[in-house]
């Protein structure tokens, strides 16, 4: 979704409303976060910040081919990963022989490894929801690397989903207990803007698991109309923001 000038004016604080409505795409085609990012970084140079994922799930994700850092490494011209999880970095190096990952706090201290060459993207995959102050965190990355990185890609969990609506109706919340935040399309764009970035595009990825009636309906839709079925935004769990540095 390309941002309108009206939306940009609200993001920058040039306009204000206590109840502004923003309309997002009504027709989105299903694609996973991994599929989308693999296409974007193909043949590019990428810095992957927060590359570890959760330590308890690394083995399973690597064995099933769903560990994001491997996906990025296989598609990109060059990919280097950084994380403050020292145990995770040591595990990846010792157990799997993965050498393009480094234990380093690249937000608080500018990394010489990053600064010594030019990069197409800094990538934050499901990182910001774990950060105490996401605006400050992104701003530090901008200050440190805007001269060597062209754009930043940020993926975060999406709060406006059918599953979350259903959970609320049943009176409970299902959440990763290390998360500090949920995001809407507007709030992740606002965070990026307040950090000094210029959002260019936002996408909706990782479709929710469909119920049996939904599967039947979509199957009939595809069979009868011979078209790929599309979905509204509340069928997608992940937001992907692309921004200029």
Least Cα distance to 128 among 21, 211, 50, 237 occurs for 50
Strands 236-244 and 198-207: antiparallel
Which of 83-87, 98-102, 192-196, 221-225 shows the lowest per-residue confidence on average (mean pLDDT)? 221-225
Sheet of 101-103, strands arranged across: 101-103, 78-83, 45-49, 119-125, 149-157, 236-244, 198-207
Domain ranges of the chain: 5-244
Instruction: State mean pLDDT over 119-141.
Output: 97
The structure's pTM equals 0.93
Q: What is the pLDDT of residues 173-186, one digit of tens each?
A: 999 999 999 999 99
The reported pLDDT for the residue numbered 55 is 85
% of the chain at pLDDT higher than 70:
100
Decide yes or no: CATH 2.60.120.430 for domain 5-244. Answer: no
Q: What is the pLDDT of residues 96-127, one digit of tens each?
A: 999 999 999 999 999 999 999 999 999 999 99
Instruction: State mean pLDDT over 205-215.
Output: 91
Q: What is the pLDDT of residues 4-55, one digit of tens each?
A: 899 999 999 999 999 999 988 878 888 999 999 999 999 999 999 999 988 8
Mean pLDDT in the chain?
Answer: 94
- Cα distance between residue 159 and residue 151, in whole Å: 25
The reported pLDDT for the residue numbered 26 is 78
CB 72 within 8 A of CB 79: yes
């Amino acid at each position: 979704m390309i941002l309108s000038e009206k939306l940009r004016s609200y993001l920058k604080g040039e306009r204000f409303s206590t109840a502004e409505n923003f309309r997002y795409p009504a027709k989105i085609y299903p694609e996973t976060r991994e599929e989308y990012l693999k296409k974007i970084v193909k043949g590019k140079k990428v810095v992957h910040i927060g590359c570890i994922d959760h330590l308890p799930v690394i083995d399973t994700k690597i064995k099933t081919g769903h560990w994001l850092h491997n996906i990025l490494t296989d598609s990109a011209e060059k990919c280097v990963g950084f994380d403050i999880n020292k145990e995770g970095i040591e595990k990846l190096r010792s157990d799997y022989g993965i050498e393009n990952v480094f234990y380093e706090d690249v937000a608080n201290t500018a990394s010489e490894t990053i600064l010594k060459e030019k990069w197409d993207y800094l990538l934050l995959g499901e990182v910001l929801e774990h950060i105490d102050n996401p605006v400050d965190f992104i701003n530090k990355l901008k200050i440190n690397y805007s001269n060597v990185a062209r754009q930043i890609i940020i993926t975060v969990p999406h709060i406006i989903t059918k599953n979350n609506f259903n959970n609320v109706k049943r009176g409970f919340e299902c959440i990763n207990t290390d998360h500090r935040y949920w995001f809407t399309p507007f709030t992740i764009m606002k965070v990026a803007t307040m950090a000094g970035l210029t959002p260019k595009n936002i996408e909706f990825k990782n479709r929710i698991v469909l119920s049996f009636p939904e599967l039947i309906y979509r199957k009939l839709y595809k069979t009868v109309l011979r078209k790929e079925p599309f979905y509204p935004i509340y069928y997608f769990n992940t937001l992907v923001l692309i921004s200029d540095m």
